């Protein structure tokens, strides 16, 4: 795990893209996250882009400006110009860093301005930035696991394996969409409320969101090999926001004995931008574990874990109902939490995933699981906020929610903020629930 800072992290850097110098921007020159885009409404091929202020730097439009790049940066640029970022992800940390440095120098104040290479984000259409071969969702918030466990297993809310092993399940890559995704309310079987023997089939009645962080794999590992935990973050390209939509009533009926299935595979929404781990280097945080809890087994422990194994990323959930849109009322905040509160780290997720020889590939996606904090108001799902549907949540316009209704839009936001440093944002992951088909 590299903790080295370099000139790209200099907080005094500014850009000739004026909007990047706004203190409220998610995308200052110190960020430079990657995505895949094209001009909205066009038939252009999707291609790599980098967020800078309220613009997208079109990597395919750099032309002669790229001749000043190092060979390694030019090679990385050619990989980023494709319709997905898998090739760039596979190139490894040295290539990612070389391209990031070249783009930082290209965009700094005083460099030659390239307005022809900019596309306003408001005029851009985004797609999932990588071909995701596999998706695994973890369960790394002990606060979420304990609260949800208490709803269903009051006598044993936290199963005994939780503090020993990073729990996860295999998700469905084909239903992952980028921010702006809309999807029909899922249908399936649910347990009858009246105790009848035959389950009910129909649209989900307890639809929920899950506030998560996504982890995009860069370089993978050969089948049969393991990634040592101390080297795991060198295999991580970057992080995004992730909403693992959940049908709680379907989940309650189907998850025993093999875990989630139809309750989870209908939609997952991610933010369009992947913030590189290099950009997040100044925002590392201590990873903590209660001394009374089991400490990680040796294959999940490494020297830098306790000092800097976590990322200090503020997370937020907002809700905008159809009525709020009609009334021109902005989205209402529901909760806030922080990624640093995870019980298991990014490196531990990667190491555990591969310890049995499972091969990860460039573009594979890991989800953190619902990131709930220690306080009730920092819960990352409606299941927790509503106490399993027992307590309604009052919205500013007078509407109430226990679970999501048709027309509801859930917005996730994330940012890394520290005094004296620029704000490194993730943009938004927004998704809307449509009526069941």
Active-site amino acid positions: 144
Q: Is 264 annotated as a binding residue?
A: yes
Q: Is 127 annotated as a binding residue?
A: no
Q: Is 187 annotated as a binding residue?
A: no
Q: Is 113 annotated as a binding residue?
A: no
Query: SS3 string of 229-298?
Result: HHHHHHHEEEEEEEECCEEHHHHHHHCCCCCCCCCCCCCEEECCCEEECCCCHHHEECCCCCCCCCCCCH
Q: What share of the chain is helix, strand, coil (3-state, %, to 5)?
A: 25, 25, 45
Q: Is 244 annotated as a binding residue?
A: yes
Q: State whether the Cα torsion 352-245-25-417 is positive or negative.
A: negative
Is the preceding omega at residue 257 within 30 degrees of 0, hence cis? yes
- Give the DSSP letter string of 5-63: --GGG-TT--BSSGGGG-TT-S--TTT--EEEEEETT--PPPEEEEEETTEEEEGGG-G
Q: Is 212 annotated as a binding residue?
A: yes
Of 280, 285, 268, nearest to 236 by C-alpha is: 280
Q: Which residues contact 138 (CB under 8 A, 6 or more apart)?
A: 166, 167, 168, 344, 349, 366, 367, 368, 369
The alpha-helical segments, DSSP class H, found in 271-396 are 305-308, 322-326, 346-354, 382-385
Instruction: Give 288-295 contacts, CB < 8 A, sequence gap 24+.
Output: 289/343, 293/163, 294/163, 294/164
Q: Is 181 annotated as a binding residue?
A: no
- Residues annotated within the binding site for Ca(2+) are 137, 210, 212, 244
- Residues annotated within the binding site are 137, 139, 153, 210, 212, 244, 251, 255, 264, 268, 370
- Residues annotated within the binding site for Mg(2+) are 244, 264, 268
């Amino acid at each position: 795990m590299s903790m080295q800072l370099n000139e790209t992290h200099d907080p005094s850097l500014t850009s000739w893209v004026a909007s990047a110098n706004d203190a409220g921007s998610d995308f200052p020159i110190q960020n430079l996250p990657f995505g895949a885009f094209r001009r909205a409404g066009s038939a252009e091929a999707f291609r790599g882009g980098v967020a800078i202020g309220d613009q997208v730097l079109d990597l395919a439009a750099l032309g002669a400006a790229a001749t000043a790049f190092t060979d390694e940066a030019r090679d990385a640029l050619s990989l980023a110009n494709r319709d997905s970022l898998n090739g760039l992800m596979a190139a490894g940390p040295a290539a990612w860093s070389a391209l990031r440095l070249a783009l930082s120098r290209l965009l700094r104040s005083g460099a030659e301005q390239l307005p022809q290479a900019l596309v306003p984000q408001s005029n851009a259409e985004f797609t999932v930035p990588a071909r995701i071969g596999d998706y695994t969702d973890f369960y790394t918030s002990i606060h979420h696991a304990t609260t949800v466990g208490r709803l269903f297993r009051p006598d044993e809310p936290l199963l005994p394996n939780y503090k020993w092993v990073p729990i996860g399940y295999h998700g469905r890559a084909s239903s992952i969409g980028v921010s702006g995704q809309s999807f029909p309310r899922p249908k399936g079987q649910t347990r009858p409320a009246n105790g009848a023997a035959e389950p009910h089939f129909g649209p989900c009645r307890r639809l929920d969101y899950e506030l998560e962080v996504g982890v995009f794999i860069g370089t993978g590992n050969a089948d049969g090999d393991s990634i040592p935990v101390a080297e795991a973050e060198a295999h991580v390209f970057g992080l995004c926001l992730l909403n693992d939509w959940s049908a709680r009533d379907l989940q309650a009926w189907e998850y025993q004995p093999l875990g989630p299935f139809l309750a989870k595979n209908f939609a997952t929404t991610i933010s369009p931008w992947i913030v590189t781990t290099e950009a997040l280097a100044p925002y590392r945080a201590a990873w903590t574990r209660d001394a009374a809890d089991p400490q990680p087994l040796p294959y999940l422990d490494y020297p830098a874990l306790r000092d800097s194994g976590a990322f200090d990323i503020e997370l937020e959930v907002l809700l905008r109902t159809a009525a709020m849109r009609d009334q021109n009322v902005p989205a209402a905040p529901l909760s806030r939490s922080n990624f640093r509160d995870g019980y298991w780290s990014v490196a531990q997720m990667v190491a555990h995933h591969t310890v049995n020889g499972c091969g990860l590939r460039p573009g594979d996606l890991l989800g953190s699981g619902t990131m709930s904090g220690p306080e009730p108001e920092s819960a990352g799902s409606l299941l927790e906020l509503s106490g399993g549907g027992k307590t309604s949540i009052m919205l500013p316009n007078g509407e109430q929610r226990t679970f999501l209704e048709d027309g509801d839009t859930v917005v996730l936001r994330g940012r890394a903020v520290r005094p004296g440093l620029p704000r490194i944002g993730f943009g938004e992951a927004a998704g809307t629930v449509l009526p069941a088909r």
